[in-house]
Amino acid sequence: MAQSIKRKVEEGEWLWTPRPDFAKASHVARYMDWLDRKKHRSFEDYDALWRWSVSEPEDFWASIWEYFDVQSDQPYLRVLDRRVMPGGKWFEGSLVNYAEHLLRHETRAAPGETVFHHCSEVRPLARMDWQTLGRQVRILATQMRAMGVEPGDRVVSYMPNVPETAVAMMATVAIGAIWSSAAPEFGVQTVVDRFAQIEPKLLFAADGYRFGGKDFKREAEVRKIIDALPTLKQVIWLDYLNPGTPAPRLANVVRWAELIEQPDVPREEFRFTRVPYDHPIWIVFSSGTTGLPKAIVHSHVGVLLEHLKLMHFHLNMKPGGAMFFYSTTGWMMWNLLLAALLTGSAAVLYDGNPAHPNPDFLWQLAADTRTTSFGASPTFVQMMEKAGLRPGEKFDLSALESIVVAGAPSTPETFDWFYRAVKKDLWVTSQSGGTEICSGFVGASPTLPVHAGEIQTRMLGMDVHAWRDDGTEAPAGEVAELVATTPFPSMPVCFWNDTDGKRYHEAYFDVFPGVWRHGDFIKINERGGCYIYGRSDSTLNRFGVRIGTAEIYRTVEQIPEVADSLIVCCELPGGKFFMPLFLKLKPGAALDNGLRDRINAALRENCSPRHVPDRIYTVEQIPYTLTGKKMEIPVRKILMGWPLAKAASRDAMMNPSAIDWFVRFAQESIDYQWRAGAA
């Protein structure tokens, strides 16, 4: 197979610097000017601002409250009662509502101003304006109150990424009920594993969805989910896949259209339920590759303060802008996408296969909606690059200002592709955080330059460091554990049903007491740029040397014949290790000695001899979770002899059949005779 020639991009290589007018007009620059004028606090650059935000967190978060004019029924008693993790109380005494702030721009928006651009494989591209959104939220919230939904009740959703789901979320939050969502592609058991834990009162459900041109009906699945949730009192049915069809014959079911066609509730008469500082806004779940997913509870005030900061200062969204991120409703990135409304920006909603009907469909969508911020996972970017796409030559992307890459570590080549194939004057950003905080720890600033593969900075208010195993700070440039040493508002309030806080503590505080250990490996260089090297719990520990899987993927997936890869390291008796590399090859490629030698040589040269695998195998598919993460830990467990049922949940997989090869491999391969003591 002929090898393509491409410029080698060095990690940390300079790629872009913001224009002076772009940086000066940014939200973070305006905030720094406000601090200077109103608070007599002057900062020479972003780094100085960050250092103040983490050394004086009470002053910083109080300034966020004041700068964005957070609405509360009464003043808060204090910003933070004590600097402890977990257990610190943020803005105790306040009474706020997140949905009220999401919809605040409705009163400022011009008639007909767009809040949602939306399309799917079922529906053509359309728009919803701010006035329609506000009216539908008020109507639905009022109807839910009439159904007996009260503050603290759980409301769950099994719906696609369409405006109705966004309306349902906002209406739920508006009345103080607690929202939780699962994507319709989730299997029954995956949904039940989540929702049964939180005992919901009301379910929003759609009749199905379309993906890759194929219809997936969901009535049978919804019936099974309802049967498994005895606390349900009401079902609201959306005839999305087959509009106009009647709702199924179920107890207490009502069609979406019947509710939303009820009389309008005037804005001045509607009352948002403002709730205390620790009142839950939603429950999000960990990926759930093994065991019951963690039910993570966030608060209105914590999410509101964090999202105001994130959307303005780190994503620079503004009125007239449009934010797109490819996500399903089962991923916290969907929550973040809707948070763009806090800035007066529109959100672009898409439900379907990102490469259907054409591989560059999402770029057409970006052009048609005048998207200003385009977001996707590194896996999607890799697919576009391997397909040879050059969107900047085909589409009008003149409105596009920034790229948000999230969901997995990004490589220097990912960054470089955007500048080569999309646009030269582009703020390409990578972010890293998690479901646990519904935001990011490290991310972007519109005032800083972009370097290849590098996350620009630590986010304001996030006291992030790289710590060695002994709890000491790693020097600049050394890979170590990502920790946060100062409390921040978007920490989970608790895990649902974790009455003594044991699971919460074990998840983040069992290694370094009082310090948040996130479970990622990070490197912070001398200029404050950050690199994420994958999950520390999936790190390859070979003869006492820890190897980040992202380093290997970056090298291996630059080999022209390689379409995708996965690597794990299994501990053997006697202190030995077995580190196999699994490859999905491009059509027409074959794993021969020449390809093996080139892969091993590249790993030895670009990484180290310890990065060279013990064996290389080819597979038809690399298994991924529904949120696009390679399933390294479940594969490792399977190869170590775990039964599939305990190692992974099929319903939590993007491609469930991909795991079967690894099950057979573990059972049949002679390489695993060591489990019986042969090695």
Neighbours of 93 (CB within 10 A): 14
Residue 533, amino acid: Y
Is 97 domain-assigned?
A: no
Count: domains in the chain: 2
Final residue before a domain boundary, out of 346, 361, 381: 346
pLDDT of residue 383: 80
Residues of the chain with pLDDT under 70: 1-6, 287-291, 534-539, 541-548, 571-576, 608, 669-679
pLDDT of residue 2: 36
Give the CATH number for residue 230: 3.40.50.12780
Please give the Cα distance from 599 to 605 (Å, whole number). 10
Is 401 domain-assigned?
A: no
- Give the DSSP per-residue string, 106-136: GGTSPTT-EEEEEEESSS--EEEEHHHHHHH
Residue from 390, 393, 347, 351 nearest 370 by CA: 347
Is 482 domain-assigned?
A: no
Integer-rounded Cα Rg, in Å, for the chain is 25
Sheet containing strand 432-434, strands side by side: 432-434, 439-443, 457-458
Please give the Cα distance from 222 to 239 (Å, whole number). 13
pLDDT of residue 3: 39
Query: Is 337 within 8 Å of 327 (Cβ atoms)?
Result: yes
CA distances from residue 496 to 15, 435, 436 in whole angstroms, order as listed? 44, 15, 13
Give the 3-state secondary structure of residue 237. strand
Full domain range(s) for residue 208? 111-275+323-346
Query: Is 213 within 8 Å of 356 (Cβ atoms)?
Result: yes
Residue from 64, 653, 62, 45 nearest 342 by CA: 64
Structure tokens that stand for 291 in this block: 């065991």
Please give the Cα distance from 642 to 22 (Å, whole number). 53
Give the 3-state secondary structure of residue 522. strand
Is 630 domain-assigned?
A: yes
Is 78 domain-assigned?
A: no
Give the CATH number for residue 595: 3.30.300.30
Give the distance between the most distant pair of CA atoms in the chain: 76
pLDDT of residue 122: 97
Q: Which DSSP symbol is given to 519? A: E
CA distances from residue 470 to 473, 474, 480, 512 in whole angstroms, order as listed? 9, 10, 11, 9
Is 666 domain-assigned?
A: yes
| Interaxial angle between packed helices 46-55 and 57-67, expressed in degrees from 0 to 180 and rounded to the nearest 10 | 110
CA distances from residue 594 to 3, 395, 589, 591, 597 in whole angstroms, order as listed? 13, 40, 12, 8, 5
| Interaxial angle between packed helices 57-67 and 27-39, expressed in degrees from 0 to 180 and rounded to the nearest 10 | 110
Residue from 641, 616, 621 nearest 631 by CA: 621
**Each residue's pLDDT tens digit, 506-560:** 999 999 999 999 988 899 999 999 998 766 666 676 655 556 677 788 889 889 9
pLDDT of residue 671: 53
Is 125 domain-assigned?
A: yes
Is 64 domain-assigned?
A: no
Final residue before a domain boundary, out of 312, 346, 380: 346
